[in-house]
Amino acid sequence: MADGGVPGRLLIIGGAADRCSGAGLLERFVELCGGGSARIVLVTTATGMPDQVHADYERVFCKLGVDRTMQLRLRGRADADGDAAATMLADATGVFFSGGDQSRLRTLVGSRTNEVLRERLTEGLVVGGTSAGATALGRTMILSGQSPEVSAGTVRTGPGLRLVPKVLIDMHFGERGRLPRLLSAVALDPEHLGLGIDENTAILVEGQSFEVLGTGVVTVADAQRATVVYPAGDGDPITLFDVRLHLLPAGCVFGIDKRAPAIGPGHDRY
């Protein structure tokens, strides 16, 4: 895959996935990981309540037939580079990143854990993430920002885990009105594809394309051929001509390498 990306399967959720009914997106994740024989590692680094989050996911995964969900907390860089994390990941069929504060996930970037994840993806590992755990999976992650302006000061980004190439992911997208933030991010680096994922909505990435799942919409912002004029000040509006926007509900597919949307054969399904 181009730009250091890794072929494999990733289920990237925009947040607020249903954890009560045992259906929908998390059910799809369990199916991808092997159903009742799945061995799931839950990375709780992003959350301030790791034990509670682990218990919540363990409960719903258990309802879906998974015997045990192991927690990988990774309190710092030493843990992310350690043998224990590598051993746990080596035996997993699926790894899921919880939500929380994505700035806490920066300690994983470039770590041994990061490299093991990239290697295991080529071997069939399934990686999932929601909210903060979703934005961390791209080449660049959004760390913060909330403003009605499209400007350099509207968004703050940092390096991501690079499990999906040339992609920048935003979450809780429609619910929190984050189009200006996503446009600001892609205006600052037009080679990125900006993906804004609504709540209880996901993309299933397989190789060079993804399918949209869930109840909401994925907004794709493509500024590769846009004209961008940067102002003198970070707080001043960016001039942006000819940016392409695509709105993709469930069943639509998108070719990342060709930057091409289409209606897929599984339209309107999880």
Q: Is 115 assigned a catalytic role?
A: no
Cβ contact 143:160 at 8 Å = no
Catalytic entry in 149, 175, 209, 246 = 149
Q: Is 131 assigned a catalytic role?
A: yes
Q: Is 98 assigned a catalytic role?
A: no
C-alpha radius of gyration, the chain, whole number:
18
Catalytic entry in 131, 151, 199, 211 = 131
Catalytic entry in 54, 111, 172, 184 = 172
Q: What is the DSSP string of the chain?
A: -GGG---SEEEEE-S----SSS-THHHHHHHHHTGGG--EEEE-TT-S-HHHHHHHHHHHHHHTT-S-EEEE---SHHHHTSHHHHHHHHT-SEEEE--S-GGGGGGGTTSHHHHHHHHHHTTT-EEEEETHHHHTTEEEEEEE---SS-SGGG-EEEE---SEEEEEEEESTTTTT-HHHHHHHHHH-TTSEEEEE-TTEEEEEETTEEEEEESSEEEEEE-TT-EEE--SSTTSPPEEES-EEEEEETTEEEETTTTEEEE-TTTT--
Q: Which residues are catalytic?
A: 131, 149, 172
